[in-house]
Every structure is written in structure tokens, then in C-alpha cells.
Amino acid sequence: MNPATAPDPGDPGSPRSSRVALGARGRIRRTVLAVTATALLAMGCAPHMPSTSPAPPVPRPAGPEEPTRGDVEAWLDGTLPAALETEGIAGATVSVVADGEILTSRGYGYSETGTGYEYGETAAGDVVATPVDPEENLFQVGELSEPVTATAAMLLVESGELDLDTDVTEYLDFAPPSSFDTPVTLRHLLTHTGGYEERYRGRTLLDDGEVDLRARLTTDPPEQVHEPGTVPSRSEYGYALVGHIIERVTGDTFEDHVRENVLDPIGMADSDFHQDTLYDGDTWPSDGYETDDSRPTWFEGSASAPSGALSTTAVDMARFMLALLEDGEGPGPLSSETLDLMRGPGLDADTLGTLAEGPRATLGLLEEDRGGRRILGYGGDSAFFHSRIRLHPDEGTGIFVSLNSNGHDEYSATRVLDAVTEGFTDRYLPAGEDAEDISISPTREEHAAMAEGRYVSSRSSHSTFLAVRDLFEQTRVTARPDGTIVVSPDPTTGAPAAYEEIEPWVWREMEGDRILVMRADDREVRDLGFGAALTMTRVDTVREAPTALTVLGVSLAILLLAALSWPISALVRRSLKGEPRARDGRTARVLTRGAVVCALAATALWAWIVPEATGTWDVAWSLIRSAQGLTLLGALGALPAAVSLVRAPRARERWFRVLAGTVVLAALVGFAWSAAVSGVMAWDITY
């Protein structure tokens, strides 16, 4: 396929229209899941979220293999095709570097499967399937754009135009959100510790154009919910700030500056942050897919170029890996001293506390040590693309892999990426003989007990209505009698995992190599570090899922039964010619019934809004305010319900009506309490 034959975005048969169809199907699926979870709660069941266990770890060889071109290609050929087929992923692109050169670059599967769209047909009507070409196919790498952005920033640090520890307001023409006395520095932004919560609205660029980065940063910015330097948490907003700082200091657009100072010097000629010229060259973007047999999707851009707009090839990413590995002697523009800064931890225990005992963020990369070996990595995701690099700086090797599909379930892409990157490490750089000689900490039982509880991602939207997601996405830590803990689900895999403490506050996965670190106060563990930029924070007792969701589910079940019973009882009374209810208290009864209907309607509307708000399309402000209005009316229904009960003796209501009214009142109070603790009534509806 060439640019001349690209489909019109408005064509019903175009990939962009396919993405709309996929989005609608995704909305239906997510809404059904939300309603099903509520129904289960209503029946008194704990919510059982489906989770898929990760693929079993690749067996480690007895000794390391030599990473030669022939052996690496044979290993990739034996690993990736089967993994793609099993997980339902259309295509993958891979590159491997070693000893200062590109060892190999490979393509697997298809960049265009040739199914589901008319423009993929030849004149003879045959469907064209295009294999992935590692030199010609551009893949969207999402947050894997950030190490390139960090490289551009570190070049300015090297030249003295930026300082890592200066308040970033010195470089900006506006003041970013601030809730703490500690100023935000470039060091904080590069290590994902600026403290900003997640924002979703407007992050997807739905047409192939450029965006105003300053407008993106100043329009409805996220709140700062953590003190700078203390809580590692991936931040799109933080890296967008880095990009705008580069623009302010250099006077260039971010995209042009990175092209001239990073991409071109490294030799990444086919890579670009510009999103409106991808179809103008000899390379061609791969289509994205839900699964390998689904319709293709149109290009999905990022509204924040510094944190997600890079499109690149496997060969270009190999050149970037070499630039980070070569100690200033390779094709990259950075000096060896600056590279050492980028490859070393960016923060220490002064701000991180005991979290510094685990993997940390560097100034642009993330530590991912495995089997006693130092590893630097990074990952990136868009709606359909999933990418990862893994560098072994001491051995001078690296691997990049990118996928163009989500696969059969939400962890399909993760399992394939793990099979390639962890399999590469296990085959060519296995653990040393003394890597397993690790003692068990004597504080394990005490610390396990302190860790018991529920946790949510520090990346959540804590100040907006999307805080309600925290009720459904909690990780539970359970202490076992032997001093080990079970984490369910482990946020890195989605499956339960057991950990044992190997030194105070440092825990190792018992059936793997993942490291978990804890940070505690005098009474309990407050934070769990699952990686260099993934922190889980303890949930307040009132927001723990078993309590909050049970109250909500039982309340909704009662309200639904009440709403169904009212017309049925009226019909029965009419057919039996029963005595009508007294007019005294009728207004309160009508208001109560209206509140019940509002509460049920609000729940249904939130079940649609919340998943939609975190997806591709933005939700209208009017819908969010409508849901909040219905929620408020439902919660206020407790007042007329209480009035009805107070007036029941004078109205000579029968005992079963008094009982029913009491139960409905309790349900409306439960609904009001759930609305309060879930966060859906937050006044700020930006997200």
C-alpha cells in the first residue's frame, strides 16, 4: 500500500471508521462488565474480575548462549510466530544490538492483514496481506517516546542551557499545578516524580495534525497530588512539560528540535514526532488491530508529542539503543558523562525513602534488574500498539520489540513482550551462580502484617469523578503464616503472585524475579513499589472495595426491587379492588420513588461514562453533570423517605409497608454514602 491509495478518513470502509466500530464494541463490552459486576454485588457476591494467568516463565538454560546473528534469529523465529498466533496478535517488529552493531532486525506477522477493508484488494479481487518489514514499517511506540525526549533534554543539560535541579517555573511561561512547597525540577519530571495525577480527556489526537503543546499543558491541567520527588508514577503531563521546556529554551518546536538534535545525529532518519507527515516518505505506518482477525484501525495520534507521538522502525530503534549503550563513542550525540547520568538512578533515599531500595527511574530510563544483572528498560502503549526496549549496559546488548495488536485479552501483549525480552535475558545473560544465594529477612512476619490491606495505583485520577475506578482496581496484600505475602492481582501481570522478604522492606517474587519494595510509617505500609515508575498507595478503610462495593451493590439491588415492586403492587391492588393508600404522605412517597429512579438511572449512566472517559473518545460535559445531578437527586431521596416513615403511624400504614420503607431508606442512605466515598460528585469534572 502507498500513500496515494490511502483511504479517505470519512469513507465508511476506511480503517478510521473501523476504529469507530471497534470503539462502540468496546463500549458495549465494558458497560456489560460494569453492570455484571454490580449485579453480582447485588446478590451478595464479592466481585470476581476475570484474570488471565501470565505465560509460564521461559526455562533458563544451563549456561549463556553466545548472542550471534544466527542464534538470535533462530531463537526469535522459534519464539515469536507461535506467541503471536497463540495470543491473537497480527504483527511484530524486533531488533537486537550487541557489541556496538545491529545484530539483527526482524519482522513477524503482518503490518496489514488484508482483511476487513476494501482498499486492500487488488484489481483481481484478491486480498493483499503485507508482512511486517523492520526497515519500512513504522510502529507507534507510545510512552517509549519519552527516552528520546529525555535525550533531548539531557543534551541541553550537557550544554548548560538547563539545570536538573532548578525550579521548572524558571523555564516556563506559566505556572504548572502546585500543591506543595517543594518545587518541581527537571530531575523530578524525568524520573516521573512530579506528583501529577492522571488525565485522560483530549490525550488522543483523532486527526493527523499537530497540536499546541502549551495549550495542552494549560487547559484543564491535572492536580499535583504527591509531593515532588517522593512517589514514582508514570506521568504523561510531566514529560509534556519537559517538551515545552525544550521549546522555551531553544525557540524551536519540540518536533523540529528533536529531529535536528537527536534523531538525525543518531541516524534515525525514518522516525518522527511529527504526526501529519508519516505518509509522505518511503516508510509506511503499520495498521493497528484489536486481534489478528479484526478490522484494521486508522492512525491514532497523541495530543502530547513528547510523551507519546514517536513513530519509528525496528532498525531506527536499534540505532537509538546503540546511542544509549556506546559511552559516547557510538552514533549518539551525548557524551559519556551525560550517558552515565542517564543510566544511573535519578533520585535517592533522601526523597524516596525505602522505595530507593528497589528499581528506580534514571534520567530517562527505568531500572528492570533481573537475575542479578543490571537492566534498563522502558515500555510504551497506545490503543493498539505495545512496545518495549531492554538494555544491558554492562554487556552492551539490547533488544526492542513492538506489537501492532492487543490480542485476545488485556494481558496478551504483555505475555508476548515478556516472552521476548525476558526470554532474551534468560538465554543470553542468565543469572550468575550466586544470584539465588539470597537470605530471608528476619523482619518478614512483622512487615507482612504491616503490609496487609488494599492499594491503588498512584497514577489514578484522585481528584476527579474517575476516582470511582479505584473501587474496582484495587490490589490486595495478604500476609501468610510463614511470613510471605500474596499480592492479588499483581499490577504487573494481572495475576496473583507470592513474595518473600529478602532484606528489610525488599521483597522478591517467589516464582520469578520481580522486586517489590515497601515504604511504611510507624503503624503500616503506605506505599508499594512494583517498579521504577509504578507505585501503589494504601486505600483508606472506607474506600476498600469489599466495604464500598458491597454497600453500593446491596443498595442498588434493594432500589431495583423496590422500583419493580411498585407497579406490580399497584396492579395487584387494583385487580383485587383493595383499599387505596392514604393521601397523607403521598408527596413524600412520590419524591422517594422519583429518587429511586434517579439513583438507578445515575448508576447506569456512570457505568457508561467511566469506561468511555478513559478510552479514545471524550465525554460531553453535559453528560457528566447530568449523571452528577441524578446522583444528587437519588441521594437526597433519603429525606422524603425518612419523612414517610415518620408519618407512617398517623397514616396507619401496615407493618410490611413500614418495613419496606425502612429498607428503602437504608438503601438510599447507602447510595448516598457510596456516592460520597467514590468521588463521582467531585466538583471538578475535568479528567
- Of 524, 539, 554, the residue that ends a domain is 539
Domain that holds residue 353: 61-427
Residues 530, 548 within the same domain: no
CA-derived radius of gyration, the chain: 28
Determine the longest span between alpha carbons in the chain, in angstroms. Answer: 95
Residues 358, 249 within the same domain: yes
Residues 461, 556 within the same domain: no
CATH number of residue 259's parent domain: 3.40.710.10
Residues 212, 254 within the same domain: yes
How far apart, in whole angstroms, are the C-alpha atoms of residue 255 and residue 27? 34
Residues 503, 387 within the same domain: no
Contact 303, 203 (CB under 8 A): yes
Residues 594, 458 within the same domain: no
Contact 288, 616 (CB under 8 A): no
Within a domain: 50: no
Q: What is the pLDDT of residues 277-327, one digit of tens each?
A: 777 777 889 999 999 999 888 777 888 899 999 999 999 999 999 999 987
Residues 208, 314 within the same domain: yes
For 602, half-sphere exposure in the C-beta direction (CA atoms, 13 angstrom radius) is 27
Task: Give yes or no for residue 46 having a pLDDT over 50.
Answer: no
Within a domain: 203: yes
- Of 401, 427, 453, the residue that ends a domain is 427
| 5-13 contacts at long range (C-beta below 8 A, 24 or more positions apart) | 5/119, 6/119, 6/279, 7/117, 7/118, 7/119, 9/207, 9/298, 13/117, 13/118, 13/119
Within a domain: 534: yes
How far apart, in whole angstroms, are the C-alpha atoms of residue 222 and residue 49? 29
Within a domain: 75: yes
How far apart, in whole angstroms, are the C-alpha atoms of residue 80 and residue 204? 30
Report residue 308 as a C-alpha cell. Answer: 507519546
**Residue owning grid cell 527537571:** 186
Task: Give yes or no for residue 19 having a pLDDT over 60.
Answer: no
Residues 373, 247 within the same domain: yes
Q: What is the mean pLDDT of residues 418-430?
A: 92
Report residue 378 as a C-alpha cell. Answer: 522502558
How far apart, in whole angstroms, are the C-alpha atoms of residue 432 and residue 42? 53
Within a domain: 8: no
Within a domain: 685: no
Residues 216, 282 within the same domain: yes
- pTM summary value: 0.86
Residue 60's pLDDT is 43
Q: What is the pLDDT of residues 96-110, one digit of tens each?
A: 999 999 999 999 999
Task: Give yes or no for residue 6 having a pLDDT over 60.
Answer: no
249 phi, psi to nearest 5 deg: -75, -40
Report residue 563 as a C-alpha cell. Answer: 422500583
Within a domain: 72: yes
Residue 576's pLDDT is 60
How far apart, in whole angstroms, are the C-alpha atoms of residue 373 and residue 391? 11
Nearest in space to 109 (alpha carbons), one of 95, 94, 125: 94
How many domains does the structure of the chain reveal?
Answer: 3
Within a domain: 32: no
Residues 108, 159 within the same domain: yes
Residues 448, 419 within the same domain: no
CA 648 → CA 555, 565, 661, 663, distances in Å?
A: 22, 19, 9, 14
Q: What is the mean pLDDT of residues 673-686?
A: 90
Contact 149, 380 (CB under 8 A): no
Residues 523, 635 within the same domain: no
Task: Give yes or no for residue 54 having a pLDDT over 60.
Answer: no
- Of 539, 556, 571, the residue that ends a domain is 539
Q: What is the pLDDT of residues 228-260, one digit of tens each?
A: 999 999 999 999 999 999 999 999 999 999 999
Q: What element of type H or E holds 91?
A: strand 91-98
